[in-house]
């Protein structure tokens, strides 16, 4: 009886292939986990570290928005006041000229009758406009000083906001952290109420 010869067994490649695939999968999972961990730390780190700075920046920006709206309202009000002063000055100028012309015509005194009554009426009309011009000019000067002080306060806050924003942006991270836009400081707007202070009118005394 002869022994039957069998071919040599082939090695099982499927098990080795599956093992390599599992190892590759584990490697990629480790790499992915490290990537998420590093980027997560890079994002959360600055967010947590600069949390108070970010809160302060948001508070300042909200404050700046409200202040800017108020400044625009003050500019409009001051501009109208300045226009009122200029309008009163233009209205009173011809009245003043008429008064001076009469006084120049009668250097020794204004004669009575209709001439004096007309002269007196013009003087009173001029003085009423001069008084209103002086009141409005004084109100304008006070308002302009307060406006300039508020602009300075606004710019100080704007500088603080920009400094905080630069500080936060200087922090290194793998993924950039979105930040609020820095505030843009403003100077006195143009057109704005003129820096020239409106002059008051001189009240005329009756001769």
What DSSP string describes 19-48? HHHHHHHHHHHHHHHHHHHHHHHHHHHHHH
Q: Is the separation of the CB atoms in 136 and 89 below 8 Å?
A: no
Q: Rounded mean pLDDT of the chain?
A: 74
Tens of pLDDT, residues 23-78: 777 777 777 766 655 555 555 555 556 788 888 888 998 998 899 899 999 999 99
Which pLDDT value is given to residue 46?
Answer: 55
Q: Distance between terminal CA atoms of the chain?
A: 162
Which pLDDT value is given to residue 200?
Answer: 46
Max Cα–Cα distance, the chain, nearest Å: 169
Give dist(CA 158, CA 63) in Å, integer.
10
Domains contained in the chain, CATH given: 33-169 (1.10.287)
Give dist(CA 57, CA 180) in Å, integer.
8
Tokens of 19: 């093992």
Question: Quick one: which of 145, 102, 162 has its CA closest to 126?
Answer: 102
pTM of the model: 0.59
What is the full per-residue pLDDT of the chain (207 aa) written as tens digits?
555 554 555 555 566 666 677 777 777 777 776 665 555 555 555 555 678 888 888 899 899 889 989 999 999 999 999 999 999 999 999 999 999 999 899 888 888 888 889 999 999 999 999 999 999 999 999 999 999 899 888 888 888 888 888 887 765 433 333 333 433 333 333 323 333 334 445 555 544
Q: Is the separation of the CB atoms in 147 and 75 below 8 Å?
A: yes
């Amino acid at each position: 009886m002869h022994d039957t010869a069998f071919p040599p067994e082939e090695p099982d490649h499927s098990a080795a292939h599956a093992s390599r695939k599992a190892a590759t999968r584990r490697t990629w999972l480790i790499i992915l986990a490290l990537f998420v961990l590093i980027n997560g730390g890079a994002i959360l780190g600055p967010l947590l570290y600069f949390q108070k700075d970010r809160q302060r920046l948001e508070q300042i920006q909200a404050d700046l928005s409200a202040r800017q709206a108020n400044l625009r309202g003050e500019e409009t009000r001051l501009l109208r006041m300045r226009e009122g002063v200029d309008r009163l000055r233009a209205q009173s100028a011809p009245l003043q000229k008429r008064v001076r012309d009469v006084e120049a015509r009668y250097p020794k005194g204004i004669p009575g009758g209709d001439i004096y009554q007309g002269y007196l009426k013009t003087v009173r009309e001029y003085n009423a406009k001069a008084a209103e011009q002086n009141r409005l000019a004084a109100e304008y000067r006070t308002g302009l000083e307060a406006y300039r002080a508020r602009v300075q306060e606004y710019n100080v806050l704007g500088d603080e906001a920009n400094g905080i924003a630069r500080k936060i942006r200087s922090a290194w991270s793998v993924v950039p952290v979105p930040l609020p836009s820095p505030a843009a400081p403003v100077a006195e707007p143009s057109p704005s109420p003129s820096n020239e202070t409106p002059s008051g009118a001189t009240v005329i005394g009756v001769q």
